[in-house]
Amino acid sequence: MIRSAILGASGYVGGELLRLLARHPGIEAARLFGDSKAGQRLGVVHPHIGGPTGAIEVERFSLEALDGIDLVFAALPHGESQKWAEAILATGAKLVDLGADFRLHDQQDYATWYGEAHAAPHLLDRFVYGIPELHRDAICSAQAVAAAGCYPTATILALKPLIDAGLVESNSLIVDAASGVSGAGRAVKEGTAFNTVDGSFAAYGLLNHRHTAEMEQALGATVLFTPHLAPMTRGILATCYATAAREMTADEPLEALRAAYADEPFVRVSDAPPATKWVTGSNGAVVSARYDARTKRVLALGAIDNLGKGAAGQMIQCANLMFGLDEAAGLSAEGVFP
Amino acid sequence: MIRSAILGASGYVGGELLRLLARHPGIEAARLFGDSKAGQRLGVVHPHIGGPTGAIEVERFSLEALDGIDLVFAALPHGESQKWAEAILATGAKLVDLGADFRLHDQQDYATWYGEAHAAPHLLDRFVYGIPELHRDAICSAQAVAAAGCYPTATILALKPLIDAGLVESNSLIVDAASGVSGAGRAVKEGTAFNTVDGSFAAYGLLNHRHTAEMEQALGATVLFTPHLAPMTRGILATCYATAAREMTADEPLEALRAAYADEPFVRVSDAPPATKWVTGSNGAVVSARYDARTKRVLALGAIDNLGKGAAGQMIQCANLMFGLDEAAGLSAEGVFP
Amino acid sequence: MIRSAILGASGYVGGELLRLLARHPGIEAARLFGDSKAGQRLGVVHPHIGGPTGAIEVERFSLEALDGIDLVFAALPHGESQKWAEAILATGAKLVDLGADFRLHDQQDYATWYGEAHAAPHLLDRFVYGIPELHRDAICSAQAVAAAGCYPTATILALKPLIDAGLVESNSLIVDAASGVSGAGRAVKEGTAFNTVDGSFAAYGLLNHRHTAEMEQALGATVLFTPHLAPMTRGILATCYATAAREMTADEPLEALRAAYADEPFVRVSDAPPATKWVTGSNGAVVSARYDARTKRVLALGAIDNLGKGAAGQMIQCANLMFGLDEAAGLSAEGVFP
Amino acid sequence: MIRSAILGASGYVGGELLRLLARHPGIEAARLFGDSKAGQRLGVVHPHIGGPTGAIEVERFSLEALDGIDLVFAALPHGESQKWAEAILATGAKLVDLGADFRLHDQQDYATWYGEAHAAPHLLDRFVYGIPELHRDAICSAQAVAAAGCYPTATILALKPLIDAGLVESNSLIVDAASGVSGAGRAVKEGTAFNTVDGSFAAYGLLNHRHTAEMEQALGATVLFTPHLAPMTRGILATCYATAAREMTADEPLEALRAAYADEPFVRVSDAPPATKWVTGSNGAVVSARYDARTKRVLALGAIDNLGKGAAGQMIQCANLMFGLDEAAGLSAEGVFP
Q: Rounded to whole angstroms, how far apart are CA atoms A308 and A239?
A: 19
pLDDT bracket for residue D186 (50, 70, 90):
very high
Asked if A50 and D280 come within 8 Å (Cβ–Cβ), the reply is no
Is the Cα dihedral A228, A231, A234, A235 positive or negative? negative
Q: Rounded to whole angstroms, how far apart are CA atoms A19 and A165?
A: 38
Q: Rounded to whole angstroms, how far apart are CA atoms B107 and C88?
A: 67
**Cβ neighbours of residue C257 closer than 8 Å, sequence gap 6 or more:** C158, C161, C162, C269, C287, C288, C289, C300
pLDDT bracket for residue A190 (50, 70, 90):
very high
Q: What does D127-169 look like in DSSP terms, one character per residue?
A: EEEE-HHHHHHHHHT-SEEEEPPHHHHHHHHHHHHHHHTT-B-
Average pLDDT across chain D, whole number:
97
Per DSSP, helices labelled H in A245-337 are: 252-261, 313-322
Which residues on adjacent β-strands are paired with residue C224? C174
Q: Could you read off the pLDDT of D26-54 as tens digits, one per residue?
A: 999 999 999 889 999 999 999 999 988 89
Q: Could you read off the pLDDT of A69-101 as tens digits, one per residue?
A: 999 999 999 999 999 999 999 999 999 999 999
Whether A171 has a pLDDT exceeding 90, the answer reads no
DSSP state of C296: T
Per DSSP, helices labelled H in A178-251 are: 194-197, 211-219
pLDDT for B52: 87
Residues in chain C predicted with pLDDT less than 70, given as ranges, are: none
User: C96: closest CA among C85, C110, C109?
Assistant: C85
Whether D210 has a pLDDT exceeding 90, the answer reads yes
* Separation in Å, CA of D140 to nearest CA in chain B: 34
Asked if A194 and C186 come within 8 Å (Cβ–Cβ), the reply is no
pLDDT bracket for residue A319 (50, 70, 90):
very high
Strands B94-97 and B71-74: parallel
Q: Give, rounded to a whole angstrom, the gap between the first and last alpha carbons of chain A.
A: 34
What single letter denotes the amino acid at residue A104? Answer: L
Is the Cα dihedral C161, C167, C169, C173 positive or negative? negative
Q: Could you read off the pLDDT of D254-273 as tens digits, one per residue?
A: 999 999 999 999 999 999 99
Whether A62 has a pLDDT exceeding 90, the answer reads yes
User: D327: closest CA among D312, D316, D338?
Assistant: D316
Give D213's contacts in chain C (Cβ within 8 Å).
none
Q: Could you read off the pLDDT of A279-289 as tens digits, one per residue?
A: 999 999 999 99
Whether A269 has a pLDDT exceeding 90, the answer reads yes
Phi, psi of C59 (to 5 degrees): -100, 155
In this structure, how many other beta carbons lie within 10 angstroms of the beta carbon of residue B137? 10
What are the Cα distances from residue C335, in Å, to A263, B29, B160, C277? Answer: 52, 17, 34, 7
Average pLDDT across chain A, whole number:
97
Which residues on adjacent β-strands are paired with residue D177? D227, D238
Q: Could you read off the pLDDT of B45-65 as tens digits, one per residue?
A: 999 999 888 999 999 999 999
Is the Cα dihedral D101, D102, D103, D104 positive or negative? positive
Asked if A332 and D15 come within 8 Å (Cβ–Cβ), the reply is no
pLDDT bracket for residue A270 (50, 70, 90):
very high
Average pLDDT over residues B110-118: 96
**Minimal Cβ distance to C334: which of B22, B198, B278:** B22
Per DSSP, helices labelled H in B185-326 are: 194-197, 211-219, 252-261, 313-322
Average pLDDT over residues B253-271: 97
Whether the Cβ atoms of residue A213 and residue A104 lie closer than 8 Å to each other: yes
Count Cβ–Cβ pairs < 8 Å, chain B vs chain C: 93
In this structure, how many other beta carbons lie within 10 angstroms of the beta carbon of residue C261? 18
What does the buried/exposed string (b/e) look like for A141-172 if buried means 16 or more CB atoms within 10 Å of the residue's CB? ebebbbbbbbbbbbbbbbbbbbbebebbbbeb
Count Cβ–Cβ pairs < 8 Å, chain B vs chain D: 53
What does the buried/exposed string (b/e) look like for B79-109 if buried means 16 or more CB atoms within 10 Å of the residue's CB? ebbbebbeebbebebbbbbbbbbbbbeeeeb
Whether B15 has a pLDDT exceeding 90, the answer reads yes
Per DSSP, helices labelled H in C78-149 are: 81-90, 107-114, 132-140
Whether A174 has a pLDDT exceeding 90, the answer reads yes
Q: Determine whether C123 is exposed, middle or buried from the number of CB atoms within 10 Å of its CB (0-12, 13-18, 19+).
A: middle
Q: Which domains does chain A have, with CATH numbers?
A: 2-148+309-322 (3.40.50.720), 151-306 (3.30.360.10)
Asked if A204 and B273 come within 8 Å (Cβ–Cβ), the reply is yes
Whether the Cβ atoms of residue C231 and residue C257 lie closer than 8 Å to each other: no
Q: What does D16-53 look like in DSSP terms, one character per residue?
A: HHHHHHTT-SSEEEEEEE-STTTTSBHHHHSTT--HHH
What are the Cα distances from residue B175, in Å, to A59, A177, A235, B207? Answer: 48, 13, 22, 11
In this structure, how many other beta carbons lie within 10 angstroms of the beta carbon of residue C190? 10
Q: Provide the residue count of chain B.
A: 338
DSSP state of C142: -
Average pLDDT over residues D167-190: 96
For chain A, the chains sharing at least 3 beta-carbon pairs closer than 8 angstroms are: B, C, D
Chain B residue whose CA is closest to C269: B50
Q: Enumerate helices (H) and strands (E) in chain A, giving the number of each.
A: 11, 13
Longest Cα pair distance anywhere in chain A, in angstroms? 62
Asked if D188 and B193 come within 8 Å (Cβ–Cβ), the reply is yes
Query: Which of B48, B192, B270 would you mutate first to test chain C, the one with the most C CBs within 10 A?
Result: B48
Q: What does D250-293 look like in DSSP terms, one character per residue?
A: TTHHHHHHHHHHTT-SSEEE-SSPPBGGGGTTSS-EEEEEEEET
Which residues on adjacent β-strands are paired with residue C304? C236, C285
pTM exceeding the 0.95 threshold for the entire prediction: yes
* Separation in Å, CA of A166 to nearest CA in chain D: 27
Q: Could you read off the pLDDT of A12-23 as tens digits, one per residue?
A: 999 999 999 999
What does the buried/exposed string (b/e) look like for C223-255 if buried means 16 or more CB atoms within 10 Å of the residue's CB? bbbbbbbbbbbbbbbbbbbbbbbeebeeebbbb
Asked if D196 and B194 come within 8 Å (Cβ–Cβ), the reply is yes
Give A276's contacts in chain B (Cβ within 8 Å).
199-202
Count Cα neighbours of C139 within 13 Å in the Cβ-side half-sphere.
27
Average pLDDT over residues D225-240: 98
User: One of C140, C150, C240, C318 is an active-site residue; which one?
Assistant: C150
Chain B residue whose CA is closest to C15: B337
**Residue B89, SS3 per DSSP:** helix
* Separation in Å, CA of D11 to nearest CA in chain C: 21
pLDDT for A183: 97
pLDDT for C300: 98
Whether the Cβ atoms of residue A278 and residue A302 lie closer than 8 Å to each other: no
What does the buried/exposed string (b/e) look like for C303-316 if buried means 16 or more CB atoms within 10 Å of the residue's CB? bbbbbbbbbbbbbb
* Separation in Å, CA of C212 to nearest CA in chain B: 26
